[in-house]
Amino acid sequence: MEGHTVGLLWDAGKVPLGNHVVRGVAAYTLIATEFSYDQTCAVSSEERWVAPLKDRKEMKTSKVIIADLRSWGDISFSMGTCEP
């Protein structure tokens, strides 16, 4: 049954509306599992979630990926820093 699901998602990705839906689901899955609202990080808010990047220990700031959650299907990603 798994092969049928993958085939369905593959076919949906070829159609513009299906592609939009698949990308939206993938983005929200990524955000739900890797990003969070970090109240200790100034660039984070309820609409801007962050995920830390691994970096060298001698760096004074922590690099993060920022996900701006504007609305369903309207998500943008950027890089930023959080002060320790």
- In the chain, where are the structural domains located? 2-82
Q: pLDDT tens across 51-74, in order? A: 988 765 666 678 899 999 877 667
SS (H, E, C) the chain: CHHHHHHHHHHHHHCHHHHHHHHHHHHHHHHHHHCECCCCCCCCCCCEEEEECCCCCCCCCEEEEEEEEEECCEEEEEEEEECC
**Whole-model pTM above 0.85?**
no
Q: pLDDT tens across 8-18, in order? A: 455 544 556 66
pLDDT band for position 50 (50/70/90)? very high
